[in-house]
Structure 1
């Protein structure tokens, strides 16, 4: 019988031989398998862009929000550049995200609808939009109206105390049902807002047929599925109305 040392040496030799045989086989098997990129290597697709139609009723409400927030500027697009305190942001490429201090308040609100930075981050991610231009700000404001559960009311074409109250937590200048600001800040009177809204809606409804008739002779935008073409199409549904402030 072989000694214990001989048996140990024999077992080691057999083990090494098995390893030398299985290693090339395993390598060959791995090389024969198709390679797939890992999930981490695949870029995520951008979120789809959500586009809201701009009807006369919705445009009238957007203009009324601008009037209440002090960014109406007689309907001029310069209102989309106004920061808290009345200064103008140098670019519409992005939200300025800059705190402005006055004697009583400090805020980083900016744009026609005075978006706070954290609000705009949420809006832009939810809608899949970028930049900070006029049409993009309009879309963001309608998203906030919808988020407050007020879009169906807005589409009725009536500026009611309930509509204003639903939007009061979003825009401090809108009155609650009690007639006060939700945040204890200066607030517009409901009747002033309603007068402004009614005047705007009447003008917008008068403008719509003329605007659509002019658009019929324009060449079609291309490519039709691009964000630019979609936003241009929405402008046909809701021309901005210029009117003087009611008070």
Structure 2
């Protein structure tokens, strides 16, 4: 989802698209974790990925509108509803118009995307450290972006990364899906404030 009132949604039949939050209403829950000790505490994510990878992730979360929201976004679902637990992806289809979205977590993973990420990485929960591992998987393996581990990305590397990652997160420039998105300069400024470029 984007921070400007537009969200990525998936219909029950699997169609994906973007909609304004003003058309969203909630459907009954399909579950949201067991509440049996799982936590959404952001401290769990510390060290899950390297510092420069985390700076990129934090920039994506900022564009998605989840960074600094509730438990730093790890417990945020579509339309800014909150999960009770990060034990599992909530798979809660929140209605808007004639469709709904299962987007959840700091990086607004749709259920199908999360199931693929979870399977590919052997992840057992939706806890913050696994959301970071999942985001890194989408960045590197799905979108083929290499993040230097010992330095910030150059302006050219960052621009290329945004171009590739905008297919995964529509809030990133150049705005592939017709929803409002952050500009290239806004993203670079945020990233550099976090990565020290």
Whether TM exceeds 0.5 here: the answer is yes
Q: Give the match's secondary structure for 1:73.
A: coil
Structure number having the greater helix percentage? 1
Pairing 1:174–2:169 present: no
Q: Give the match's secondary structure for 2:179.
A: coil
Q: Does structure 2 retain, via aligned residues, the 8 Å contact 1:61–1:154?
A: no
Q: Does structure 1 retain, via aligned residues, the 8 Å contact 2:52–2:148?
A: no
- Supply the RMSD in Å over aligned alpha carbons: 2.4
Deviations 1:160-207 (A, max 9, x none): 2211011011111111xxx3x2222221111111111111112xx9xx
Matches within 5 A, 1:24-63: 54-63=49-58
Match of 2:127 in 1: 133
Structure 1 segments unaligned to the other structure (5+ residues): 1-51, 206-247
Offset at 1:91? 1.1
Q: Does structure 1 retain, via aligned residues, the 8 Å contact 2:48–2:129?
A: no
Matches within 5 A, 1:1-247: 54-73=49-68, 77-102=71-96, 106-147=100-141, 148-152=143-147, 157-158=152-153, 160-175=158-173, 179=174, 181-202=175-196
TM-score normalised by L of structure 2:
0.67
Runs of 4+ off more than 6 Å: none
Larger radius of gyration: 1
Structure 2 segments unaligned to the other structure (5+ residues): 1-46
Aligned length in residues: 147
Distance 1:106 1:53 in 2: 31
Q: Does structure 1 retain, via aligned residues, the 8 Å contact 2:171–2:179?
A: yes
Deviations 1:132-176 (A, max 9, x none): 11101000000000121102468752252211011011111111x
TM-score normalised by L of structure 1:
0.54
